[in-house]
Structures are given as C-alpha cells and as structure tokens.
Amino acid sequence: MTAARALATTSALLFAAVLVGCGPASSSGEVAAKPEGTELGKEVAADMSVKDKVAAYASVRLTADLSRLPENDRKMLPLLIEAAQAMDEVYWLEAFGPKDPFLGAIGDADVRRYAEINYGPWDRLDGDKAFVPGYGAKPDAAQFYPADMTKEEFEKAIAGDAKKAETFKSEYTRIVRKDGVLAAVPYHEAWPEPTARAVAKLEEAAALATDKGLKRYLELRAKALETDDYRASDRAWLDMKDNVVDVVVGPIETYEDKLFGYKAAHEAYVLVKDQEWSKRLAKYATMLPALQKGLPVEAAYKKEVPGTDSDLNAYDVVYYAGDCNAGSKTIAINLPNDETIQLEKGTRRLQLKNAMRAKFDTIMVPIASLLIAEDQRKHVTFDAFFADVMFHEVAHGLGIKKTIDGKGTVRDALKEQAGALEEGKADILGLHMITVLHEKGELPDVALEDAYTTFLAGIFRSVRWGAANAHAQANLSRFHFFQREGAFTRDDATGTYRVDMPKMRAAMDKLSAQILKFQGDGDYQGVVKFMDELGKMDPALQADLDRVGKAGIPKDIVFEQGVEVLGLQPAMEAK
C-alpha cells in the first residue's frame, strides 16, 4: 500500500506504471528516484491548473514579537527550528519517500511548489487526487506498511499474540517485511539519521534553557525520540507552566495512516507564548469535570472524569514542519493524544493565534460575505472564531476514551474511522461548551448568535479541504446532519445560508449524543454507515463551494518561515 518502487529503466511509461501503488514494494518500502531523462510536471501544468492551485494558498509570514525574550531563549529558537526540519524530513519519508529525487525530477516550477506544499504528488485539499503524472491513488498505508500488505495479512500476523499485537499496533513502529515475514521496526531505527539530528538539536537547546520545566522536557523529549517511549516527556510537557518558548516535536497524529489509523506521523511546531491572551483563557480548563457531567448523553457515556491538570494558552507559531504543515494548516493543538495520560493529567490546549488570525482574515470573512445571509454576516467575528477553535480543542478532553464494554480504547475499536469522528466530536462539543458557558455567564464576550453563525461559516471553510481530510469529513457529515435537522436554511435567490438558532441548538445536542454513543459503543459499522450517508459531497454544496473558488478566496495558507524571517542568526552562528 506504500508508493511502489520505480524500476531502473529510462522508459517513462514503465516508470508511471510502477508508481501507481499496485506493485510490490522493496523491503524498505521507500520510493526510488525517477529515472533520468524525463521531467515530471511540464505536461500537466496547464490542464491541471496547478498555478491556480498554488495561488489558492495565501502566503503568510510567520513572525512574533521576540523583543522581550531572554537572550538564551532567542538562541534556542534556531536550534528548535533545526530539530523541526529533521521532523519534516522524516515526515516526507513516512508520507511519500525521499524528497529530493522526486522534487528534482519535476520540471515545472508550479507543480514542484505544489508538491512541496502537499508533501508528495497527491492534492490533500482535493480528495488526494494525483496532480503529477505517473502516480495513481494515494496509498492508504503511506510508508508505514509494505505496499502489498493487506489488512487480512496484518490481522493474521498478530492473531493470538497479545504482545505482538501491541507492538504491531503501536503508534511508533513501522511494519516491514523481513525474509518475507511481517515485522515491526521502532521509528528510531526506521529513520535513524534525521532522528539523531533532532535529538542533538533538542539536547543543545536544553543546555541553553533557563526554565527548569522546559529544560527537563527537552532532555526527556530527546530521549523519547531515541527510544520511542514518549510518556515521560509527555508528562514533563504537561508540567511546564512558566516557559515562554515551547516546541511540540515527534510522531503525534495518526491521520496519515488511512489503512488502520494506528501510526503516528512526525511533525513539529516552534512556539512563543502570548502571555496576555493566555491569562484570559486560564480558567476554562478547570471547568472540564463539570462540563463532562452536563454532556447531553446517557450517564454511561460520560462516566470518565477528565484530568484537570490542564493548560489553555495562546501562542504565536514561528515554525511548522511535517504533518501539521501538509495541506491545510493546524491552528490549535490539544495534546498529548495518549488516553492514559489524558485521564491521569489532562491535556494542554494551544491556540495558535497568529495562524488563526491569518485564516480568519483571508478566508473566513470573504466566505461569510458570499455564503452567509447579509443580515447575519455581522455575527461572523474573530472572537467567536477564536472561541469555536479554542473549545474544539478543550472538547477533545471530554466524552469517552474507552468503550463502555471495557474491551479497549475508542481509537482501537473505530480504527481508521476514529480520527474523523473524534474531530467531529470536538467540533460539536466545543459549540455545546460555548452554549453552556455563555448561559452560565462565564463567556460574556461571545454572543451565541456570533458563535453559531461563525460556526456555520467555519463549516464552509473546512469542507473545501476534501473528503480525504479528517476535519473536512467531520464538517461534511455535520453540514448534512444540520441540514436534515433544519439548523440552517438556504435562500435560493441569493445563494446564502441563514442560521436557525433554536433548531441549531437542538441539532447540536442530538449530534453530540450520537457521536458520543458511537464512541462509547465502539460501533465501527455504525460510524462507517454514518459517514457513508452524511460525509460525502453533494452537488448543491459543491456548487456553492465552486462559487467560493471562483471568487478567488484562498483554500488555506502557506508560510514564509525560518530564522531569516524572524531576524535571527542560524544555530551555528548563534552559539
């Protein structure tokens, strides 16, 4: 299921045939370089409108106010960026294969740039369609499993062996063939060189850190990358309170593994805390246990008690790398994903304010001016958008992590369906939390009509990413659920949508209960049926999204980033 090997031949036709993902992979599963003598991309630039695809990403400079940072923190940033760049290299190997031979074979500059944005030849905002000739469908397995491995073969290999099953299903092992037999290789052994570089840079940064919590985290995270045991570093990350510079680094999310949803992909964010905004958010994380009790679902589906040792802070991002930088860009973080640690200590929620503001100004406001009823457009506000995104992340901590039958985690029970459903849960429970907190007088700065109208506009923003994206699939299913429940109406004369406040409130509670029940029951078949019925694009919605595209409204953002953009010296000079 990985992108298959290319044969050593100068025939472009044969090269195209081998790369469609149908043939057997090499033992490493990596994509070989394209044969010399041909250039990819030249013949597709015009008819694929790749230039327009590149233009659909608005360029944003990632900067932050570094003037108040201590000298050692400023020296740390280039080191953390270098560690992030190593994670970017690993992600290329996980998502596609070696980057340089692939990009070097593309003759057209726009196609090459679009391949850089997408980390490969598949359009992440258009259902993972190939836009470079010679490539077929994007492999569900990415590079995490052998190309010719079936689900049945994987299940057979672990049948009756609990220890082997745990290793094979681990988020931090790559499945390969050794002498024709499936085997699990720890990540640090699968990609040793870039992993070692990241470790070295984190250790150098730790030596500079003056905040004790940050120093401890960086040391433990470096060790985690060497051992693939992340729990100690996750706990240390949760314990940090006063650091201004921060970094999220390592294998985190499992969206890239569309075969099982088991394998985490590498990524990194380098962050600078916005201390003034963070103070405004601190109180909400402590409210999780009470909010859990008030969820609109039967008691069995809310019996777990969320951890309360959680932070909610605002940051400016100064560097994105790997999974979070591929296609649509992340604007908020809720980590760690380890269910055991979530129940034990909670999570940290990071609102990426500068990236969030960029998406609101360049995408949300123009979409609202086109698709939201004219008299409701005033209700699309940044404060409401910030709240919608913030409580989405908080809501990941609500609900249920283990099925109510006691047989395991929701993630294991729902397999590849788990990611999209969890994003849908966070979206809808986030809106539920805003509603409850507003009614209790705890959220006076955001009017409910602002939150609900901005939430609807946000659905149109996210569904444009295509059904291959977990967030987009969650938004598509919610759009059709809301449509069925009458939560909004469409004026055919103006082509605009109007929120019906009472019906949206009722639909919100109904959908919240449905998703929590799917998760608690571990109802894999129920989720598949739900997504098949509601998680697909329909012609009427597509026509409205086409209007958005024709209006030149960006689909997402892409970054100008790095030490030069920040006005810093490279790490070697910073020493």
Q: In this structure, how many other beta carbons lie within 10 angstroms of the beta carbon of residue 2? A: 25
Question: If we measure between CA atoms, which residue out of 426, 432, 363, 439 comes closest to residue 396?
Answer: 426
Exposed e or buried b per residue across 251-261, where buried means at least 16 C-beta atoms within 10 angstroms of its C-beta: bbbbbbbbbbb
CA distance to 140, 273, 335, 499, 537, per residue, from 243 (Å) = 39, 8, 17, 41, 44
Q: Which of 52-61, 68-77, 565-574 has the lowest mean pLDDT?
A: 565-574
Residues present in the chain in total: 575
28 within some domain: no
Question: For the chain, first and last CA: distance in Å?
Answer: 44
Q: Tell whether the model's pLDDT for residue 15 goes beyond 80.
A: no
- Give the type of residue at 279: K
What is the pLDDT averaged over residues 12-23? 30
CA distance to 273, 286, 350, 472, per residue, from 460 (Å) = 30, 32, 24, 9
pLDDT, the chain, mean: 87
More confident residue, 223 or 342: 223
What is the pLDDT averaged over residues 406-418? 89
Q: How far apart are CA 229 and CA 188, in angstroms?
A: 10
Q: How far apart are CA 322 and CA 317, in angstroms?
A: 14
Q: Which of the 8 DSSP states describes residue 372?
A: B
Q: Tell whether the model's pLDDT for residue 42 goes beyond 60.
A: no
Q: How far apart are CA 364 and CA 60, in angstroms?
A: 15
Pairing of strands 57-61, 556-560: parallel
Q: Tokens for 403, please give them.
A: 């099925």
Q: State percent of the chain over pLDDT 90.
A: 68
CA distance to 3, 129, 256, 287, per residue, from 138 (Å) = 8, 7, 11, 42
458 within some domain: yes
- How does residue 309 score in pLDDT terms, banded at 50, 70 and 90? low
Q: H/E element holding 508?
A: helix 501-521
Query: φ and ψ at 108, to 5 degrees?
Result: -85, 130
Q: Tokens for 178, please give them.
A: 């050794």
Q: What is the number of structural domains in the chain? A: 1
- How does residue 392 score in pLDDT terms, banded at 50, 70 and 90? confident
Exposed e or buried b per residue across 357-395, where buried means at least 16 C-beta atoms within 10 angstroms of its C-beta: bbbbebbbbbbbebbbbeebbebbbbebbbbbbbbbbbb
- Give the type of residue at 336: P
pTM: 0.78
Q: Tell whether the model's pLDDT for residue 509 goes beyond 90.
A: yes
Q: In this structure, how many other beta carbons lie within 10 angstroms of the beta carbon of residue 299? A: 8
* Ramachandran area for residue 253 (φ above 0: left; ψ -120 to 50: alpha; else beta): beta
pLDDT of residue 16: 31
Question: Are 137 and 246 a contacting pair, CB within 8 Å?
Answer: no
Q: Tell whether the model's pLDDT for residue 65 goes beyond 60.
A: yes
Provide the 3-class DSSP secondary structure of residue 404.
coil
Question: Are 559 and 60 a contacting pair, CB within 8 Å?
Answer: yes
pLDDT of residue 45: 36
Q: Tokens for 336, please give them.
A: 């760690």
Q: In this structure, how many other beta carbons lie within 10 angstroms of the beta carbon of residue 52? A: 11
Q: How far apart are CA 270 and CA 249, in angstroms?
A: 8
- Give the type of residue at 475: N
- How does residue 393 score in pLDDT terms, banded at 50, 70 and 90? confident
Question: Are 138 and 130 a contacting pair, CB within 8 Å?
Answer: yes
- Provide the residue range defining the domain that includes 332: 287-315+323-352+359-550
521 within some domain: yes
pLDDT of residue 305: 79
The C-alpha R_g of the chain, in whole angstroms, comes to 23
Q: How far apart are CA 358 and CA 556, in angstroms?
A: 9
Q: Tell whether the model's pLDDT for residue 210 goes beyond 50.
A: yes
Highest averaged pLDDT of the listed ranges 4-13, 35-44, 518-527? 518-527
Query: φ and ψ at 264, to 5 degrees?
Result: -85, 140
Q: Which of 160-169, 196-205, 467-476 has the lowest mean pLDDT?
A: 467-476
Question: If we measure between CA atoms, which residue out of 426, 412, 506, 422 comes closest to residue 458?
Answer: 426
pLDDT of residue 504: 96
Taking the C-alpha atoms of 84, 89, 92 and 97 in order, what is their torsion angle to the nearest 10 degrees?
-170
409 within some domain: yes
Q: Which residues contact 534 (CB under 8 A, 6 or more apart)?
A: 476, 477, 478, 480, 481
Q: Tell whether the model's pLDDT for residue 573 goes beyond 60.
A: no
What is the pLDDT averaged over residues 442-462? 92
For residue 336, whether the previous peptide bond is cis, meaning omega lies within 30 degrees of 0, is yes
What is the pLDDT averaged over residues 538-560? 92
33 within some domain: no
Q: How far apart are CA 218 and CA 203, in angstroms?
A: 7
Q: H/E element holding 456?
A: helix 448-463
Q: Tell whether the model's pLDDT for residue 26 goes beyond 70.
A: no
Q: How far apart are CA 351 and CA 179, in angstroms?
A: 47
Handedness of CA 289, 286, 472, 83 (dihedral sign): negative
268 within some domain: no
Point out which residues pair with 356 in neighbouring strands.
none
Give the pLDDT confidence of 142-199 residue by residue, as tens digits. Answer: 999 999 999 999 999 999 999 999 999 999 999 999 999 999 999 999 999 999 999 9
